[in-house]
Chain A
């Protein structure tokens, strides 16, 4: 038991900031985002046995849990009542006001990434990865065909990969 707790602490120490970054982009209300983060680690813990390393990386799996919990939160009643008092979501405004720079000094600076991606590509990737948009939702919102969504994302991702040297 003690060992398992240590393991969970390890996960918390290493991944909470990255997961909090995802959650905060979907749930801008600070307190609610914190709540989702805590729920997220409980859920990770409860489901950890169902994680299958053959299928993919641990972080991908955890990020999915975080994203889904955050999206669930946005559909909840207390989120909607909170929204009424806030101004409607403005993507670019949110990026500017809400987020301090990365705390992870080892990670590549966000600015470097943004300069490598064009505005379209970054927005698309962010909407999907950080805000949980499906390709159908993107297609509808931006009035572009499904296939174009795919290829645009692939293009942006290839750029990301060259920035990260992967």
Chain B
């Protein structure tokens, strides 16, 4: 018989309840010795029946224990030598015979070992929980970041796809000839996006500002950071050209033309 079938047959339960014949009992013991899975199942059944018996325990009447031990002591006095001999033969004269070990192990499992085990388990679980919380937090942050990136990419794409969007290339002027940027301007909606390709880091307390130029008049399109992201700027209704100047942080109402960094005209 396969061991799984043997386990599920119910024979192990009957064994623990003492309902098998001696012959059947031997068979179960042999199977348990052969298969660790059967042995494990058996000890679980034993543990539950032990609990079941303890749940059905009956208070032993007062004085029973004393009565038992006075009888026990009398009996032991009669044949003490025999006891010693058996002890020697079995080699179990040490202070912890195997059955006592088994008894104390039973109790230890119920008390100290169990609590130490549970405590260390709790510690481990708490540690694990901490790690998971941290990982979760990191995940949430990276999700937010990804979500933001996705949003700006979507915006970017929608501008690119839009037929009315114009691309204006801004080129570096004398101050920083290497500088470069692109403005995407949707004429119909007025949306302006700025893609900085290259621009020197602004000095402390200063910020770059984008301007639209309409009929020679500068219109504020907002300040921006020099990161690589595509940034949404203020809406611009009409424009002939775009320019970037360096201004004090927060921007200026009129551009400082001495600090003109980028300039680009619309192709007409």
Contact = CB atoms under 8 A, between A and B. Distances in A.
A59 B65 contact: no
Contact of B55 (A42, A68, A110): A110
Interface string A46-59: 00110101111111
A104 B48 contact: no
Contacts of B58: 17, 20-21, 24, 99-100, 103
A12 B45 CA distance: 23
B81 to A, nearest CB: 11
A128 B18 contact: yes
A100 to B, nearest CB: 7
B56 A130 contact: yes
Given A17-B58, A18-B53, A151 B46 contact: no
Contacts of B153: none
Contact of A18 (B21, B54, B64): B54
Contacts of A107: 51, 54-55, 57
Contacts of A132: 18-19
Contacts of B97: 7, 48-49
A157 B18 contact: no
A12 B106 CA distance: 14
Interface in B22-51: 29, 32-33, 42-51
Interface residues of B, number: 62
Q: Considering residues B13, B56, B80, B98, which has the most beta carbons from chain A within 10 angstroms of its beta carbon? A: B56
Interface in B58-113: 58-61, 64-65, 67-69, 71-73, 75-76, 80, 83, 86, 90, 92, 95, 97-104, 106-107, 110
A153 B13 contact: yes
Given A63-B53, A166-B51, A16 B65 contact: yes
B47 A150 contact: no
Nearest to A103: B59
B266 interface: no
Given A18-B57, A58-B99, A129 B42 contact: no
A133 interface: yes
A156 to B, nearest CB: 8
A150 B13 contact: yes
A25 to B, nearest CB: 8
25 contacts: A4-B83, A10-B103, A20-B59, A21-B57, A25-B56, A42-B71, A42-B72, A49-B86, A49-B97, A57-B47, A59-B106, A60-B50, A102-B54, A107-B55, A113-B52, A125-B17, A133-B19, A134-B19, A134-B20, A135-B14, A153-B13, A153-B14, A154-B8, A161-B48, A164-B51
